[in-house]
């Protein structure tokens, strides 16, 4: 097996190292393929736990055990939603920081670097679903490479190709899923059922004939001058 962190290999059996490497390898594949879904659940779970704990401590201190339990449940809900939101903002901040560092090296102008960093932040937050998909695919690919190294794959060409293939395939798959979901939602709205015109339908108020207006998908009474 390849050398792990200092003292890691010396204190771990070869069989356990193989198991750990396989777990890291599988985790990398899962993260690359469905990391966007896992990201939300993990952040929501962490936020819920922290919010619940803080709510219970505060509520118990103010009004006793019953109030603590009630505030704990409320804090869990708020913390869950807040952590998902903060994770999006945090991802935008990381993208902005990386953009600023790269732009500072390439461009060398602080003002231009700040502008590019701000653009990266806004774009990342607006397209946060796509950003999470790409980031989790990249991290998943890195874990796959690490797992292969720990499995004693000495050919670095194989490791690099596996990493890149996992990143590209994972990102493409997650982005395709996002696109398909948006198309399904758009199609569902566009394909909303339209009431067919019913000749001879009468107004329930005046008894006069109703005219079907396809544009509004409603019936109009010319006598009452209003839609049914």
Q: What is the mean pLDDT of each run of 10 residues along the chain (228 residues)?
A: 50 76 90 84 82 88 85 88 82 85 85 90 87 87 90 89 93 88 64 55 82 81 80
SS3 26: helix
Report the side by side order of strands in the sheet with 218-221.
Answer: 210-213, 218-221, 226-227
| pLDDT given for residue 65 in this prediction | 85
pTM above 0.75, yes or no: no
| pLDDT given for residue 165 in this prediction | 94
Long-range contacts for 187-190 (Cβ within 8 Å, ≥24 apart)?
none
| pLDDT given for residue 144 in this prediction | 92
Average pLDDT, the chain: 82
What single string gives the DSSP state of each residue in 62-92? Answer: HH-HHHHHHHHHHHHHHHHHHHHHHHHHHHH
């Amino acid at each position: 097996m390849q050398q792990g962190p200092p003292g890691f290999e010396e204190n771990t059996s070869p069989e356990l190292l193989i198991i750990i490497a396989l777990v890291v390898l599988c985790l990398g594949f899962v993260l690359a393929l469905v990391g966007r879904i896992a990201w939300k659940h993990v952040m929501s779970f962490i936020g819920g736990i922290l919010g619940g704990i803080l709510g219970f401590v505060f509520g118990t201190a103010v009004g006793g055990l019953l109030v603590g339990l009630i505030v704990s449940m409320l804090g869990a809900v708020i913390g869950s939603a807040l952590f998902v939101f903060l994770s999006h903002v945090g991802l935008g901040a990381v993208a902005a920081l990386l953009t600023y560092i790269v732009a500072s090296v390439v461009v060398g102008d602080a003002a231009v670097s700040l502008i590019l960093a701000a653009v990266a932040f806004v774009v990342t937050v607006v397209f946060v679903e796509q950003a999470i998909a790409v980031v989790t695919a990249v991290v998943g690919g890195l874990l796959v490479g690490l797992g292969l190294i720990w499995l004693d794959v000495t050919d670095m060409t194989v490791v690099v190709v596996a990493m890149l293939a996992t990143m590209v395939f994972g990102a493409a798959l997650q982005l395709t899923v996002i696109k398909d979901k948006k198309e399904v939602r758009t199609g569902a709205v566009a394909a909303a059922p339209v009431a067919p015109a019913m000749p001879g339908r009468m107004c329930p108020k005046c008894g006069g004939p109703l005219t079907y207006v396809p544009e509004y998908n409603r019936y109009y009474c010319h006598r009452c001058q209003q839609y049914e």
